[in-house]
Structure 1
Amino acid sequence: MDLYCVMGNPVEHSRSPHIHARFAELCGQQLEYTRRLVPIGAFAEGVASFRREAAEHGNIASGCNVTVPFKFDAAAIAQHTSERALLAQAVNMLRFEADGSIHADNTDGIGLVNDIVRNAAVPLAGCELLLIGAGGAAAGVLGPLLDAGASRIVVANRTVGKAMALVQRHAALALRHGATLEAWALDEVPGNFDVVINATASSLAGDAVPVRAQVLRPDALAVDLMYGPAAAGFIAWAEAHGAVGRDGLGMLVEQAAEAFEAWRGVRPPAAQVLAELRASLAVGQ
């Protein structure tokens, strides 16, 4: 049996086992996907234990997803790393190769892009986009947003220096795509935008939205990378100012679909699983 898991601390909240089990069912794939709680500071040993235990029981550890706080640790143990993961400086997916090596990728950003373009039906090509935050979540999505063809992206952060560092790291990619990439303080963001993405934890912390409502164009798409109650504050703010609010549940499912395809060579029906998951959450399951 091919084994997969999600590794984190905490990890009991993760919906990944349900998502991947449903993908496997719909695609006719035989696999097992579980949660593994890994002690802080012991990620490499956690991976080694997963692979060793699988082999001891006649199974094959084929890959894992990685959640907080191990996305930086995961990058350190890989022999091969995708360009987008290198730019993000963080990893959320490992694939264990037959030769024993580890391939690392970050599917968060392409998951967000696919959710916006496919599920929300909002084109990113040629759009002007505001990315709020410059931490790990923002770093994970900036490269794929540039790849999707946004013509201008502003990264706004409380600490401007952190936003500038993220912009500088992606400057060559922006130049390759002919895109304008800027860094601004949260209270100094110029202009308004077609798409606004909240990559901070402001909603989760109960804080006010850290930018002015003037950044929203009429009918702009406003996405919080959190989902459920954690995204409610940002979405309510956006909708109160004439924008279309969206949470990060679609990104969660789409990034899982990218990992599933990388592992199994089969593209799962992400839109179907997203619809099912939204329906189950709506009735409190």
Structure 2
Amino acid sequence: MAPTDLPSRYAVIGNPVMHSKSPQIHAAFAGQTDQNMVYERLAAPVDAFPHTVDEFFSTGGAGLNVTVPFKMEAFELTRGRQTPRAMAAGAVNTLWVRHGEFHGCNTDGVGLLRDLGRLGVALDRARVLLVGAGGAARGVVLPLLSAGAQRLHVVNRTEDRAHELVQAFAEHPAAARLSAGGTASGIMLHSQWDVVINATASSLGDTAPDLPPGLYAPDSLAYDMMYASQPTAFMRQATTDGAARTADGLGMLVEQAAESFFLWRGVRPQTAPVLSSLRAMLQTGA
């Protein structure tokens, strides 16, 4: 095989990361679109993200997806060389190198909106509760507001972090529809919620955020950005508390991955068959 025929290398970087289904997703996208590429998992020590990224790209890597807990570090690594989506989010989940420098984008917001659209969720004038204030939450604040959410209330176990996140968007024209509080107080002040989104990583440990009962409006959706073969702890909690519907983040994962794939390869894959196949794999334990 000639050097020019070697596949381009991509990976998802995180800690933990071995649970990630991103390799299967991108392999399916590559097969669909006839792209010569490989995609792997890359575990980075929590104190060595920049070094791990440097090493990956210096040995021929072409692109990285970034997952917990490194999206904020990826933002700092690409400061001044980010797409408008990444700058608006203050977090990066997609990396590549151009002219010897790291560049970044955030595809979480577009991934979430596309999956909510698939689920038939109307965000226009919806009351949305966003649980969590990390990189995953930052990436979806402006997309949710831009989609017409009447109220977006961010809560976090450490309330100061929720207020810091909201303050980061204080100059945005839609800031009046954005508010913050703690998970233990203030949630009920805004009545019931049409959409409750868990942007924490709690479900990775099969635990649910500490939320009070009575959050859910009629016909409400509880959406967990995490995913599993069975309903997550957050989804089970939401069902008990009265959510009309629940969904996990597998569709969001596939949609944000498709946007990253497009940024890297210039080709937009079909997501529906990949999501269907991935769901079947999860349910059979594959």
TM-score normalised by the shorter chain: which range applies?
Answer: 0.7 to 0.9
Q: Partner of 1:213: helix, strand, or coil?
A: coil
- CA separation of 1:48 and 1:211: change in aligned 2, threshold 3 A: closer
Q: Conserved in 2, the CA contact under 8 Å of 1:222 and 1:235?
A: yes
Write the distance in 2 (CA, Å) between the matches of 1:208 and 1:272. Answer: 30
Indicate if the aligned counterparts of 1:87 and 1:169 stay in contact, CA closer than 8 A: no
What whole-Å deviation, never above 9, does each CA across 1:157-199 have from its counterpart, x for those lacking one? Answer: 23332212111112333x2x47611112333222012111112
Q: How many equivalent residue pairs? A: 275
Whole-angstrom CA distance in 1 between matches of 2:211 and 2:228: 21
Task: Give a deviation string over 1:117-170, Cα, whole Å, max 9, x none.
Answer: 1x2121222211111122332222212212222121111223332212111112
Post-superposition CA distance 1:40-69 (Å, at most 9, x none):
433333233223322xxxxxx321112233
Which runs of 5 or more structure 1 residues have no equivalent in the other structure? 55-60
**Are 1:183 and 2:174 matched, yes or no?**
no
> How far does residue 93 in structure 1 lie from its aligned partner after superposition?
0.7
Which residue matches 1:57? none
Distance 1:204 1:14 in 2: 11
SS at match of 1:214: coil
Give distance in 2, aligned partners of 1:242 and 1:40: 35
Whether the 8 Å CA contact 2:230–2:283 is kept in 1: the answer is no
Query: Structure 2 regions of 5+ residues with no counterpart?
Result: 1-6
2:24 is the alignment partner of 1:18:
yes
Aligned equivalent of 1:260: 261
* 2:145 matches 1:146: yes
Letter in 2 for 1:160: E
Which range moves more in the overlay, 180-189 or 202-211? 202-211
Closer, same or farther: CA 68–135 of 1 in aligned 2, 3 Å: closer
Partner of residue 220, structure 2:
220
Letter aligned with residue 102 of structure 2:
I
Cα pair 2:206 2:232 within 8 Å, conserved: no
Show the 5 A alignment for 1:163-182: 163-173=162-172, 175=173, 177=174, 180-182=177-179
Counterpart position of 2:51: 45
- Aligned amino acid, residue 42 of structure 1: A
Would you say the 8 A contact 2:72–2:135 is kept in 1?
A: no
Asked if structure 2 preserves the Cα contact closer than 8 Å seen for 1:81 and 1:104, the reply is yes
Q: What is the aligned-residue RMSD (CA, Å)? A: 2.2
Deviation at 1:39, TM superposition (A): 3.8
Q: Tell me whether 1:5 sits opposite 2:11 in the alignment.
A: yes
Higher share of residues assigned helix: 1
Give the structure-1-normalised TM-score. Answer: 0.87
Runs of 4+ in 1 over 6 A off after TM superposition: none
1:108-257 matches, cutoff 5 A: 108-117=108-117, 119-173=118-172, 175=173, 177=174, 180-186=177-183, 187-189=185-187, 190=189, 191-205=191-205, 207=207, 209-228=209-228, 232-240=232-240, 241-257=242-258
SS state at 2:171 partner: helix
TM-score (norm 2): 0.87
User: Hey, what's the Cα distance between the residues in 1 that align with 2:273 and 2:210?
Assistant: 34
Distance 2:175 2:75 in 1: 29
The answer to whether the 8 A contact 1:72-1:91 is kept is: yes
